[in-house]
Amino acid sequence: MRVEVELAGPYIYQYGGRLHTVEVDEGAKVEDVLKKLGITERIYIVIIKNGKAAKLDDPLSEGDKLIVFPPVGGGA
């Protein structure tokens, strides 16, 4: 199945553009999409699925829309 993924902030540059269509197996979870895109961050990442906050192990369906936010971070 295919899901639409939008990357936000610096991820756009780090992972090759803003919009991606990702092909995953039936029964795939949110985390599988991150793996496909090569995104390694797991702790400070925020993922929105169809307009709602999602967890890494949330299941996916055909046509789901994800927005993947990098850690917003900041230090001094």
Partner 1 sequence: MTSTESVVSRYESLNRSIPRIDSEDKVRGTLLYVTDIRLENALYAFTFRSKVAHGKINRIETEDAEKVNGVKAVLTYKDIPSLNGYGAIVPEIPVLAYDKVRYYGEPIALVAAESVEAGLEALSRIKVDITPLPVIRSIEEALDDNAPKIHEKGNIARHTIVKKGNVDKARASAYVVLERTYETPMQKHMYLEPEGGVAYIDENGTLNVIAGGQTPYRDKLQIARVLGISPDKIRVKNSPTGGAFGGKDDVTVQIHLALLAYKTKRPVRLTWSREESGIAGFHRTSSKIKLRTAAAKDGTLLSNEAAIYLDSGAYQSFGPTILDVSIETINGPYRVPNYYIDAYLVYTNNGLASAFRGFGAPESNFAIESMMNELADELKMDPIDLRLKNILRTGETGPFNNIIRHSEGLEEALKRAKEVFYRPDPSTPFARTGVGVAVAIKGVGFGTLPDFPTAAIEVVPEGKVRIMFSNVDYGQGINTGNAQLVAEKLQIPVSQIEVYHSDTKYSPDTGGSSASRSTFNAGNALLAACEKALSELRLEAASYFMTSSSSVTYRGGNFYYKDRSINIYELAKRLRSRGKSTFFEATYEVPRYPEPVEGTLEVPHMVYMYGVMVSKVEIDEMLGKIRPLEVDFIADIGNVINPAIAAGQIEGGVIQGLGYSLTEYYSYDKDGRPLNINYTTYIVPTAKDSPMINVEFVRTYEELGPFGAKGVGEIGIIPVGASISDAVADAIGKRPYRLPILPWDFI
List of residues contacting partner 1 (CB under 8 A): 6, 8-10, 13, 18, 44, 46, 48, 50-53, 67, 69-76
Nearer to partner 1, 1 or 48 (CB): 48
Q: Is the dihedral of CA 59, 50, 2, 69 positive or negative?
A: negative
Instruction: Tell the smallest beta-carbon distance from residue 74 to partner 1 (Å).
Output: 5
Query: Please, which residues bridge with residue 69 across strands?
Result: 46
Nearer to partner 1, 24 or 66 (CB): 66
Nearer to partner 1, 1 or 8 (CB): 8
C-beta separation of 22 from 2 below 8 A: yes
Instruction: Tell the smallest beta-carbon distance from residue 25 to partner 1 (Å).
Output: 26
Q: How far is CA 55 from CA 30, 32, 45, in A?
A: 7, 12, 10
